[in-house]
Amino acid sequence: MPPARGDREARREDVSEAVWRTLAAQGFGGLTLRAVAAEMDVSTGMLMHYFPTKRALVAHALDVLEKRTAERPRRGSPTEGLAALRAALLDILPLTEDDTARNRVWVSSWDLALADGELGSGQAERYARMRSAIRPHIEAARDRGEVPAATDADQLAASAVAFTHGLVVQALFDPERFPESVQISLMDGFLSALACDGPTASARTARPAPARGAARRSGVAVDTRAGHGPGSEPGDH
């Protein structure tokens, strides 16, 4: 006799929690039906009622990760425009232990997604949602005169996401060179380059001034001048 709908929903939630714990401990490389079953202390056969294949398990894991990411604590933003954009982008960076762990899991999923067309399409859709989420902040900045009136909001949203995830990857691989203070300094430099000159650039009063030249934070020197940033080799994003 199949379980009642409420029981099945509760069991699926238990499965999702076990999937998350397995991801947090082992990443996508260690995500297997056997590992999740062991985390739940159940048989692999029982788990296969929910995920008949490894691919189905991975697809669900990506959904769980996106949900966890969406539900994470976020910074409050006192104003619209560039200040709100700054808060949204800082929320993506690995500035805390939880955010670092979550970003590690995301990055570990890329290999699987690149090898599977359907999973890859799902990742592309997630990036599209990310760009859509920050687009209103860019439009507000444009309306407030904080960025040039000719700014293409879609293009700038893509640039902002590309910059932020490029910084995520560098911080994950080289955390000593990219501690919290350096990540924030680089983000502020990126946003400063977007802002209009003159008194209308009110967002400058809503965020710290970006570092100029060589910024020395937490004992780590980062030269933020064009062409002199960390990892600024030809071909880097």
Indicate the CATH number for domain 74-197: 1.10.357.10
56-78 pLDDT per residue, tens:
888 888 888 888 877 777 667 66
What's the Cα-to-Cα distance from 23 to each of 12, 86, 232, rounded to whole Å? Answer: 16, 29, 32
pLDDT at 237 over 50: no
The pLDDT value recorded for residue 197 is 53
pLDDT above 70: percentage of residues in the chain: 76
**Contacts with 191 (C-beta within 8 Å, 6 or more apart), sequence order:** 82, 85, 86, 89, 203, 207, 210
113-134 pLDDT per residue, tens:
898 898 899 899 999 999 999 9
199-233 pLDDT per residue, tens:
334 434 344 444 433 333 333 344 433 333 333 33
Residue ranges of domains in the chain: 10-71, 74-197
CATH architecture of 10-71: Orthogonal Bundle (1.10)
Interior/surface letters 163-173, b for 16+ CB within 10 angstroms, e for the rest: bbbebbbbbee
The pLDDT value recorded for residue 12 is 75
